[in-house]
Amino acid sequence: MNRATLATALCTALATALGAQDKPSMEIFFGQRPKEFKVAKWGPEKLPSPCYAFTASKLLTGAGAPIDDAVIVTRDSKIVAIGPRRDVTIPDGCQVFDMGDCWIAPGFVDLHCHMMGRNRRDYNDMVNPTNPELRTLDMVSMDHPQVKSALAGGVTTVLFIPGSGTNMGGFGTLTKTAGKFEEALLRFPGSLKIAQAGNPERRSGDLGADKMGMNEGLRRTLDDGYRYYRAWEEFDAGNGPKPKNRPDLEYLRGLFRHEYPVTVHTQIYQVVLETLRELRIEFNLWTVIDHGTFDAYRLCGEAQKVGVPVCNGPRQYHFDRNESRFIGLAHAWYAGGTHGWREPVPGVGRDGIAVNTDSPVIAQEQLTLQCAMACRLGLPYDVAIRAITINPARFVGADHRVGSLEVGKDADLAVWTGDPLDPRHHVKITVVNGRIAYRRDEERPRF
Amino acid sequence: MSPNAICRTGTALAVAAALASLTCDLAAQRRGRFRRGGPPTTAGAPPEPAAPVVKKEIKNYLAIRGGTVYVGTGQVLRGATVLIGDDKILAVGPGIEIPEKAKVIDATGKCVSPGFVAVKARGMGAGSTEDDPKDSVNPFDPQIKMGLAVGITSFLSVSGFGGSMPSGSSAVFKLAYGDLDGMVLKHGHVFRMSVPLAVSQMKTFKDTVAKAKDYLEKKDAAEKAAADKPEEPKPTERPGARRPTGRRGGSQAKGPPKDLATLLDIMSGKAKLWVSCRRGYDVTNLRQALEVATLLGTGVVLEDPTVAWAIPDEVAATGSMVVLSPRDHDEPDPAQPATTGSNIAMSRILSDVGVPVAVHPPAGMFGGGGLGTGGILGQDLNTPHVDAAYAVRGGLDQHKALRTLTLDAAKIVGADSRIGSLEPGKDADILILDGDPLHYRTFVETALVNGKVVYEKSKEPFYNHIHR
């Protein structure tokens, strides 16, 4: 084989490989995402920040293959250049941080946290059995210790959601973890928090005490929201009168407009089955499974089919008492399988899995440990990195801003002393919106 | 009465008879060996527990060859052999001659480490520590295999949460699956108390210590006087008879008062005192724990001393040791940040001044001392190596960090003469690992306790479907 043929063959092979990579392993159902956001508010697209260049021995992009001996240049809260050091020209006047053997990783994204709660507690305001009128937006505080811990753990974007004390906890906020509140905001609402079962059973309301009753309660509220949404759609199309303003249903309107997803506290086979049926199919919502623990992974085929991705955690394994096996949950969702008596089913693949902390259940700074544990139990390393970067960003429709290190995206990154998943390594510097938000105090490190 | 007989019947009553229990306790350490058929080396005075030479005929040799051996002391030997004779380690190093009849396990490309010592645990076949734990251990508890699967080969179980005086009961259990006699390493040697103490509690404590010192002085004087007199014959006892309780017993008259027995055991170094500092967020409370150590004249084990990083020299000066979870995080009090709150560098800071440190799982919402099946991996006892890894994150040297699970942990549970390192004469509690002991993906491939293979990843269901 001459050199030219070899080169062609290599190129073909590479193209095939890349092609396989480019084809998503799972089509996530985003509904008909509108171009115009009528309910949701996005934070500022661009902010002033100095020009920084960080060099590192390895750069995990979160999107494609890692780059060795890399440099990344940031300015005005955006990434302006990235690549191998020999290919990137650092602009004049740019402050250079030579980070030697360090690694650079995207700022990590945690889709399930209650981090700004008071006294390290969940935010469970149990006003009604379902609370579409509540929101975490007013609770956001960048002075909270857990926010500092997030930065120390390399976490720069969080979906701060209400707890699971009621079936519908309220609306979560998608925010960065540094800067002034208005600047940090990525999007509000970030999502609607629904807790389908496995905590909201308070036996307090008039809606029954268990799954049937809770499903019915959710259905009633969502149905109200759907009617409200339809009335506005009719009005906007010029087909109906102007609806009476209903602040308690306003955010549900945005939910049905598919401006943001519903993130569902759902776990155990039967409950997740109901999530897929009721929320995704019956109400046609853009749906993300949160938790997805216990034996729910047996529904990976169904979830994949209807485009519902999984943000798994804080539990990382299911102990199968029949077989005495520690089943890695993230891996089980990812890979699919036979799951006992069934025909083999596909998993949600590398694009359908994320990992969360549910902080303060697991301390916010330990998001990478959650991923390391998923990895320990079988999740491939590259998928594990995606599970706290591009995948969660995509699940909530924020992947045009965060989740990977690419030119044009937000300059959110962390400099690590090595593999971010290895608890022995730590963050030296965290950058959010192009500004240095955290530097490790080596005398008294936070984490 | 043989020391063995004293032991079987007397251990539960040892608190009431400190002098008798001195003999008893040393014998207790060797009891496992008696039961497995090896005769005591000497009948009367027991030898030092860490006798490096085992004077009995070795029936089975086992060699673990070719691995990277983490000795547990901080030393690493590449391509070394660990030679085991029955239940003890005979030799460790490169170029060791392997006896012809030895069974050989090839560990080439693998890491060999001492079994991990969990300093605070429960379950895993443990018996009740209130009485002789041997009466209630379950050597076939499935949790034993789960513990071995994550590298634990022995653990301390302590009951009682500690009050203002040392109390509670304890035992060090070994995960000798299927071997009833091999399961209890030590018993009744750890007591617990907690700080802060109220002024009145501190006074009571000081008074009791003074009484104990006074008792010791009088006893020493009496012994000196007795040494001049001829020895009296010992009263004979029906074999198997229950020893009389302290209050009624004739021998009790010579023993210490009941309320002093525990303190005397601690002061003589026969027992260890754990002082829980979890409620003490500032140095004032920690200094109270150190004052307790000073009063007793012996180092204590400080349990979760959040701010020990701020006064490491004071901790070191008392000869105390520390049990902690490196990643447990407490916010400092903004009014006095230099002396409150946690510091992930604490293991390194203490290690630098020579304070032994052992690690345990974090205290978080779902953390805790038990092996879990609840799914919270990384927070429970299913990943002891991750807790040590966090000590490295705080700056502790890699090899020293392994000691937080091995030799230093063994010291802290009071069993380093038997376990915690791969040194000749010690129990053959050994792990063969598929990688660096502190890497998050590393699994135990084979675990040995008392020289027997008690766990193989490929043969047990827990993790054999996971391939690195």
pLDDT digits (tens, 9 = 90+) for B354-402: 999 999 999 877 766 788 888 899 999 999 999 999 999 999 999 999 9
Lowest model confidence (mean pLDDT) among A118-132, A307-321, B12-26, B50-64: B12-26
- C-alpha distances (whole Å) from A1 to each of A9, A11, A14, A56, B140 are 10, 15, 18, 38, 63
State the pLDDT at residue B306: 92
Q: What is the pLDDT of residue B235?
A: 55
Q: What is residue B159's predicted lDDT score, i.e. its pLDDT? A: 87
Q: Do A318 and B377 count as a contact with CB atoms less than 8 A apart?
A: no
Q: What is the pTM of this model?
A: 0.89
Q: What are phi and psi of A301, to 5 degrees?
A: -65, -45
> In angstroms, what separates the C-alpha of A237 from chain B's closest C-alpha?
50
| pLDDT recorded at residue A122 | 64
Handedness of CA B365, B370, B372, B374 (dihedral sign): negative
Under a CB-based contact definition with an 8 Å cutoff, are residues B364 and B379 in contact? Answer: yes
Which is nearest to B158 in space by CA: B190, B127, B183?
B190
What is chain A's length? 447
Residues of chain B above pLDDT 90, percent: 72
Cβ neighbours of B38 (radius 10 Å): 16
3-state DSSP call for residue A265?
Answer: strand
Nearest Cα of chain B lies from the Cα of A356 at a distance, in angstroms, of 12
CB-nearest partner of A369 from B329, B345, B378: B378
> A-chain residues within 8 Å CB-CB of B392?
423-424
Rounded Cα distance between A275 and B100, Å, is 64
Please list every residue in chain B whose beta carbon sits closer than 8 Å to the beta carbon of residue A356.
none
Q: Which of B176, B135, B179, B132 is nearest to B155 (CA)?
A: B176
Name chain B contacts of A149, Cβ cutoff 8 Å. 329
CB–CB of B344 and A446 under 8 A? Answer: yes
Q: Closest chain A residue to B371 measured between Cα atoms? A: A319
Mark yes or no for CB contact A315/B364 under 8 Å. no
Q: Which residue of B has its CA nearest to A417?
A: B393
Nearest Cα residue in chain B from A325: B462
The candidate with the shortest Cα–Cα distance to B301, out of B330, B272, B328, is B272
- The DSSP H or E segment spanning A41 is strand A41-42
Q: Is A146 on the interface with B (CB under 8 A)?
A: no
CB B322 within 8 A of CB B308: yes
Pairing relationship of beta strands B88-93 and B321-324 according to DSSP bridges? unpaired
How many CA within 13 A on the CB side of residue B193? 23
Task: Output the CA torsion sign for B462, B464, B466, B468.
Answer: positive
How confident is the model over B317-347, as pLDDT tens digits? Answer: 999 999 999 999 999 999 999 999 999 999 9
Q: B345 and A443: CB-CB below 8 Å?
A: yes
Q: From the list A149, A318, A360, which residue is nearest B375 (CB)?
A: A318
Res. B8 pLDDT band, cuts 50 70 90: very low
Smallest Cα distance from B406 to chain A, Å:
18
Residue in B344, B375, B441 nearest the CB of A447: B344
Binary contact (B466, A361; C-beta < 8 A): no
- For B107-119, what is each residue's pLDDT tens digit? 999 999 999 999 9
d(CA A192, nearest CA chain B) in Å: 25
Q: Taking CB atoms and an 8 Å cutoff, what residues of chain B touch A198?
A: none
Tell me the per-residue pLDDT of B223-237, one tens digit each, with 9 for 90 and over. Answer: 899 887 766 555 555
When pLDDT is averaged across residues B194-206 and rounded to a whole number, the result is 95
CA distance A203 to A217: 13
Asked if A376's CB is within 8 angstroms of B440's CB, the reply is yes
- Please report where in the chains the tokens 């300015």 appear, as a residue: A75
Contacts of B439 in chain A (CB under 8 A): 422
Whole-angstrom Cα distance, residue A122 to residue B365?
Answer: 11
More confident residue, B173 or B366: B173
The verdict on a CB contact (< 8 Å) between B376 and A443 is no
| A280 reaches B (C-beta below 8 A) | no
Confidence at residue A206, expressed as pLDDT on a 0 to 100 scale: 59
Q: Using CB atoms, pick whichever of B374, B379, B466 lies closest to residue A377.
A: B466
Q: Which of A145, A323, A444 sits opposite B461 (nearest CB)?
A: A323
CA distance B275 to A435: 45
Question: Which residues of chain B does A423 touch, with a Cβ-Cβ cutoff of 8 Å?
Answer: 327, 386, 389-390, 392-393, 440
For chain B positions 298-317, those within 8 Å of chain A (CB to CB) are: 309
Question: What is the per-residue pLDDT for B38?
Answer: 36
Q: Enumerate residue ranges in chain A where pLDDT < 70.
A: 1-22, 119-122, 202-208, 340
On the question of a cis peptide bond just before residue B424, with omega within 30 degrees of 0, the verdict is: no
Q: What is the pLDDT of residue B26?
A: 38
More confident residue, A248 or B33: A248
B444 in A contact zone (CB under 8 Å): no
Task: State the smallest CA–CA distance between residue B350 and chain A in angstroms.
Answer: 13
Question: How high is the mean pLDDT of chain B?
Answer: 85
Check CB contact of B394 with chain A, cutoff 8 Å: yes
Is A427 part of the contact surface with chain B (CB cutoff 8 Å)?
Answer: no
CA distance B324 to chain A (A): 15
Length, in residues, of chain B: 468
Residue B245 has what pLDDT? 46
Give B58-127 as a DSSP string. Answer: ---EEEEEEEEEE-SSS-EEEEEEEEEETTEEEEEETTPPPPTT-EEEE-TTSEEEEPEEESS---TT--
